A and B are shown apart, each in its own frame.
Chain A
Amino acid sequence: DIVMTQSPDSLAVSLGERATINCKSSQSVLYSSNNKNYLAWYQQKPGQPPKLLIYWASTRESGVPDRFSGSGSETDFTLTITSLQAEDVAVYYCQQYYTTPFTFGPGTIVDIK
């Protein structure tokens, strides 16, 4: 199975500041035939199911604010929240869907400083 790791485990950011979350996969999730990275980012708030933010490593899901962006390729990925808002307090997970089972990272807690 592909192992996903995330760093940091948690971070506290001031309102309006940038939050950066890193995700690393134990093997490349870049499919060479279509040059797509099979990597997604989800946001989960307490008592709610996860919500898709980013897919193909950098494509924002419809309706997701443009302060959320994804980058990276192969094994190293980043989710950036520019100008953190109060409603962004949540746990963020990366997930690879390159090969089954589609494993998730352990999550990163984002809070307000």
Chain B
Amino acid sequence: EVQLVESGEGLVQPGGSLRLSCAASGLTFSNYAMHWVRQAPGKGLEYISGISSDGGSTYYADSVKGRFTISRDNSKNTLYLQMGSLRVEDMVVYYCARSRSSSSYDAFNIWGQGTMVTVSS
């Protein structure tokens, strides 16, 4: 079964840092582009970052550019999101998602269950 499992959920102070992980199983991880999407409780979906299958290309929304860094370790089948300079508005659920293909420019057909980040002093 293809599965994505996020971890790294936690409480962090404003201005702090946190790293999220997304472990993939049941698929050849290195064949697919990957993405992070977030969602505030009761709100819509916000695309925040993506990375090509080989890690050579990365993409960011303006809301996180310069603060967040996406990376992947294909040998560990794991996607990461290093988050810094955290703000209260970053306190949302984060989903990792897989592209349908190796192309970053494709729909997202596999999603993790999401992990909550809490930013509070």
Provide the main secondary structure of the chain B interface.
strand
| Residue B26, interface by CB 8 Å | no
Q: Is the CB of B47 within 8 A of A51?
A: no
> Contact between A40 and B107 (Cβ–Cβ < 8 Å)?
yes
A contact residues, range: 20 to 34
Hey, which chain B residues are within 8 Å of A107, CB to CB? 44-45
Number of A-B pairs whose CB atoms are under 8 Å?
A: 66
Size band of the B side of the interface? 20 to 34
Q: Chain A: interface secondary structure?
A: loop
Q: Residues 89-113 of chain A: 1 if any B CB is under 8 Å from the residue's CB, otherwise 0?
A: 0000101011011111111000000
Chain B residues, CB < 8 A from A105: 44
Partner of A52 from B46, B50, B108, B113 at Cβ < 8 Å: B108
Give A37 Cβ to nearest chain B Cβ, in Å. Answer: 11
List the 6 closest pairs (A to B, CB-CB), nearest first.
Answer: A55-B107, A49-B111, A40-B107, A100-B59, A101-B61, A104-B45
A contact residues vs B (CB 8 Å cutoff): 1, 38, 40, 42, 44, 49-52, 55-56, 61, 93, 95, 97-98, 100-107
